[in-house]
Amino acid sequence: MKLLLGITIALVLMVSFSNSYAQTPQNNIAIHVQIKVENSDGALVSYLETDKVIITDYASLNSLLDTNAPILHKKIVMFGDQKYELIKATDVLVHTSPTIVSENFVSADSGNSHEILALADHDGYPVVKGDKVTTYWTILRPAS
């Protein structure tokens, strides 16, 4: 009985800590990621959605989102009397080799370095050569 109680408490603590992904009071960014995998014939292979996003550098991510990059589609939306910036970006990748390791992330290049700013946390998907992965990022943050 004590073992069962200990396992239950540990699981509750793990769940409490695992909810601190993309939206916390200090950053006010909410991110949702949709991932569609199609084979070379265009047939659907896999579809994933997650709002579990690990943000590694809030300041750099916000700076990137502040740019007018053509991949970022922005508009202002209202929820009650609060204005938010809704940002959408789509990334397409055709795999050149098979893999079962999958990552979907937002990154920035600075000089010779390549920094991952946000990483979608999901179970992954297997791909074969020629599979097309389309990743849809939806980001909501308070408008300034």
For the segment 112-122, what is each residue's pLDDT rounded down to a tens digit? 777 777 888 87
Report the DSSP beta bridge partners of residue 36. 47, 134
**Mean pLDDT (whole number) for 16-35:** 62
**Mean pLDDT (whole number) for 50-76:** 91
Q: Taking the C-alpha atoms of 11, 17, 21 and 23 in order, what is their torsion angle to the nearest 10 degrees?
A: 120
How many domains does one find in the chain?
1
Domain ranges, residue 28 = 21-142
3 assigned to some structural domain: no
**Mean pLDDT (whole number) for 69-94:** 93
pLDDT of residue 66: 93
DSSP per-residue string spanning 102-140: ---EEEEEETTEEEEEEEE------B-TT-EEEEEEEEE
4 assigned to some structural domain: no
